Amino acid sequence: MAQRSKKTKTSRKYAKGTVSQKWGFFRRMLAAAVQCGLIPGNPAVELSPNGGRRARRAASPLGERKTMTQQERTHLLAVLTEKWMIEALWVVVLFALMALAGLRFGEARALQRPDLELDHQHPTRGRSPRIHVQRTERSGNLGPPKHGRARYVSVVPILEQLIREYVKTLPPGSIWLFPGQLPRTGGKVRANYERGGHPLEMGWCVSESWARSQWHEVLAAAQLGRKLSPKALRHAFCTIALSQGQSLQWVSREMGHRDVLVTQQVYGRWAQPWGLGMLAAWLATQRLPERSFYGEPDADAILAQHGVSRMPQRSGASNHRTPFAA
């Protein structure tokens, strides 16, 4: 009887999360070696643990209960401005940035005062306030936004007014838009200051746990009838913009998605083409007949009442025979 071969440790197949975790540690270790001048370049920058063939799965469509309607968003912002405008203005501005600019939770908390470009002048459109989103914060770690790409987002007038009023209340030396306490350096939450490039003297942004606790109070005061995460504000920005006729390209750029395909897969049911709204608005101004009067003797008179005339027939049209005529 042949002996069963023992499975060695090297022949086991590790889980995908374990492989990604080990590979990320190895890549960061090489990046630190490059920063210290030990090696000229990082050979693992363009590589991935599966040989570069990363399978791209289709994004799942968003459920309607995970977002808000325009009435719900307006009601929640009204509750915010009514109860938190005086005591905690930063709560109003933080959640307004997610609801009216589509920022992610970590991106909104990690904003700094130099990121605000409220006096920006566009070459053709003139004055166009914007915000430069170039970092995010999660669990005490500061890094680039999702997919590693910074972006600019538009600022609507009501959001600009809130930001300008809030900036006046900040201390003169504060660089963070939402300053908070330094994160813990031990346990599961750790602060990677060296990789973020921000010394301790600059402070830190408000923590995710504290901001979430404020969100639960806002949600309880709004009484929307269901539990929602802060990401519902970002979803509401996208779904409302698409429902009002904004293009997928514009929404995808504002949201910071990888490409338009992700926006279409997740929010496709809310997309409305521009032409549909323009055609419906034009038809509403026209006095068109409600039914067809073709073949009736008084058709010309009825059409004339609506300002419509029958198209003249071409000469020889009655003698024209189609290829399928007998």
pLDDT of residue 313 exceeding 60 = no
How far apart, in Å, do the first and last CA atoms of the chain sit? 85
The arithmetic mean of pLDDT across residues 252-263, rounded, is: 93
Of 174, 110, 106, nearest to 138 (Cα)?
106
Q: Which pLDDT score is estimated for 325?
A: 42
Q: Which pLDDT score is estimated for 300?
A: 74
Q: Which pLDDT score is estimated for 320?
A: 46
Which tokens is 229 given?
């995460």
pLDDT of residue 278 exceeding 90 = no
The arithmetic mean of pLDDT across residues 307-318, rounded, is: 58
pLDDT of residue 85 exceeding 80 = yes
Q: Which pLDDT score is estimated for 20?
A: 73
Which tokens is 141 given?
């770690």
pLDDT of residue 309 exceeding 60 = yes
Compute the half-sphere exposure of residue 159: CA atoms within 13 Å on the CB side of its CA.
21
The arithmetic mean of pLDDT across residues 312-321, rounded, is: 52
At residue 178 the predicted structure's pLDDT band, cuts being 50, 70 and 90, is very high
pLDDT of residue 299 exceeding 90 = no
Mean pLDDT across the chain? 81
pLDDT of residue 298 exceeding 80 = no
Pinpoint the alpha helices (H) of 36-88. Answer: 70-83
Q: Which pLDDT score is estimated for 263?
A: 93
What's the CA gap between 309 and 300, in Å, rounded?
7
> Which residue in this structure is represented by tokens 């323009």?
278
At residue 26 the predicted structure's pLDDT band, cuts being 50, 70 and 90, is confident
Q: Which pLDDT score is estimated for 147?
A: 84
The arithmetic mean of pLDDT across residues 13-27, rounded, is: 75
Q: Which pLDDT score is estimated for 324?
A: 38
Contact partners, residue 222, CB within 8 Å, separation at least 6: 75, 76, 79
Q: Which pLDDT score is estimated for 29?
A: 85
Which tokens is 169 given?
């209340």
What's the predicted TM-score (pTM) here? 0.69
Question: Coil, strand or helix: which one is 117?
Answer: strand
Domains of the chain: 21-51 (no CATH), 65-272 (1.10.443.10)
Question: Coil, strand or helix: which one is 151?
Answer: strand
Return the percentage of the chain with pLDDT > 90, whole number. Answer: 45
pLDDT of residue 2 exceeding 70 = no
Q: Which pLDDT score is estimated for 326?
A: 42
Mean pLDDT lowest for which of 39-43, 278-282, 294-298, 310-314?
310-314
pLDDT of residue 311 exceeding 80 = no
Q: Which long-range contacts (CB under 8 A, 24 or more apart) does 158-165 make?
A: 158/96, 158/100, 159/96, 159/97, 159/100, 159/101, 160/118, 160/129, 162/92, 162/93, 162/96, 163/93, 163/116, 163/118, 164/118, 165/89
Contact predicate 267/99, CB 8 Å: no
The arithmetic mean of pLDDT across residues 32-37, rounded, is: 84
| Structure confidence by residue, pLDDT tens digits, 124-148 | 989 999 999 999 998 888 888 988 8
